[in-house]
Structure 1
Amino acid sequence: MTIEAVIFDIGNVLIEWQPERYYDAKIGEARRRAMFKEVDLHAMNDRVDMGGAFTQTIYDTAEAYPAWRDEIRMWHDDWIELASPPIDHSIRLLRALRATGMPVFALTNFGIGSFDYAATKYPFLAEFDRRYISGHMGVIKPDVRIYEMVEKDCGIDPARLLFADDRTDNITAAKARGWQTHLFEHPQGWADCLVGHGLLTAQQAR
């Protein structure tokens, strides 16, 4: 089946997203583990990704856990340090695909404010043909509705979409819609996938 559009997740596909690594460096692994045990920071981030106000959602959580107030606020104040560094090989693949004329979309769990901030630091986030940002859509992967919304908007047969994501649950949901998929573990594997589909040559995928 001919691919008509390639869809990139962003976190851990184009930009590393490792909050635990950030906190380990800032406050030490033991304190980080204690904080994450007491405070569901990933659920907090999901609320942002579903459209919650970036600053208010995080600061309200910080006030609800005064023992961890300063550390929780770091999720906002040092956010770009949590979402870094960019994955250069993946960015080259994005640009190589676009250079061939292949439409390239983003489908990402990302807040409105946090994405706008990231876009000021990572210019490649403006290079997609279409951007499907969960904060604007009001739903996050792997909810089936987000895939349905993409299909309806782009009008492409699901079997002609190729989607890369680092999370198995997101990939499973896309497969259930009939999308072609790649579970992203490292950029070379994604490069090999694109070459295997005939979308890039080995030289273009370097």
Structure 2
Amino acid sequence: MPTAPEPTTPPTTVVFDLGEVLVPSAGLERRLAGVFAVPEPVLREAYWRHRARHDLGDPPDRYWTAVCADLGLAPERARMDAAERVDVTFWSTLPPSSSMLIADLARARVRLAVLSNAPRGLASAVRAAAWSSPFDRLLFSADVGAAKPSQDIFRRADVEFGTAPEQVLFFDDRVDNVRAASAHGWDAHRWEGAARAVRVLRERGVLG
């Protein structure tokens, strides 16, 4: 995978994706399948088919109505509201490994940011969560109407974060996003777990 040239000075800002980086997805589809009373593989296909538009700002009602249509279900208010609660709560709750990593970085006074493809409801929940308080900036696709791997969102992120590209160290789980961030000039790495991230942070001089 092509990467940006290794920086000669430590980055000033460490940026994390949310889903599958700070928050792994294991268990989400099972819970949502329970809400809709459908098999998990059927739920998975419907859930992800419409997600990109939701991440760009489509409101929850439109998103869950489309999911219900794919599942052959009526868009019942109680069921859609329950699905939205499960979805937002799941993606805005950090597991212990991520909480420990963020705490270590906060103690080291590392400047932190999030850049995630995420809908408005989730963005609001993350901003309200106690764990996000060490983050200097939180930027979501629904905020700006652009999503990774578009170059637009990386340019917007630099403006929002007040960074030059060479000042950013970035972790994302998707290869296409890592490649796009590298092309923009960020020091981008595919997420392989918190332990691997700590090694990268030490190699880059962010952590001692």
Identity in percent: 24
Q: 2:134 aligns with which of 119, 122, 127?
A: 127
Q: Which amino acid aligns with 2:137?
A: R
TM-score, with normalisation over the residues of structure 1? 0.80
Task: Tell me the equivalent position of 2:155.
Answer: 148
Hey, what does 2:3 align to over in structure 1?
Answer: none
User: How far did residue 20 of structure 1 move?
Assistant: 3.3
Contact 2:137–2:160 (Cα < 8 Å) also in 1: no
User: Are 2:27 and 1:22 aligned?
Assistant: no
* CA pair 85-151 structure 1, distance change in 2 beyond 3 A: closer
1:188 maps onto 2:195 in alignment: yes
1:158: Cα distance to partner? Answer: 0.8
What is the aligned partner in structure 1 of residue 51 from structure 2?
A: 45
Structure 1 residue 86, shift from structure 2 partner: 2.2
Instruction: Work out the CA distance in 1 between the residues paired with 2:62 and 2:130.
Output: 26
Which position in structure 1 is the counterpart of 2:168?
161
Cα distance in structure 1, aligned partners of 2:190 and 2:71: 39
- TM-superposition CA deviations, 1:79-134 (whole Å, max 9, x none): 246437623222222232232222111101111112223555x4212331011111
1 CA distance for matches of 2:43 and 2:104?
Answer: 41
- Tell me if structure 1 keeps the 8 A contact 2:146–2:153: yes
Measured against aligned partners, the alpha-carbon deviations of 1:50-106 in whole angstroms (never above 9, x if no partner) come to 11222x123431453462347983542422464376232222222322322221111
**2:99 aligned with 1:94, yes or no?**
no
Structure 1 residues 33, 89: CA separation in 2 closer, same or farther (over 3 Å shift)?
Answer: closer
Structure 2 vs 1, CA of residues 75 and 143 (structure 1 numbering), >3 Å: closer, same or farther? farther
Cα offset for 1:26? 6.6
Q: Which amino acid aligns with 1:93?
A: L
Q: CA deviation at 1:154?
A: 2.7
User: Contact 1:22–1:82 at 8 Å: present in 2 too?
Assistant: no
Q: Hey, what does 2:206 align to over in structure 1?
A: 199
> Structure 2: which 5+ runs fail to align?
1-7
Which one is further off, 106-115 or 77-86? 77-86
* CA distance in 2: counterparts of 1:35 and 1:108, whole angstroms: 22
Aligned residues, how many?
Answer: 196
Q: Which amino acid aligns with 1:53?
A: P
Runs of at least 5 residues in structure 1 that lack an aligned partner in the other structure: 202-206
Query: Structure 2 length normalisation: TM-score?
Result: 0.79
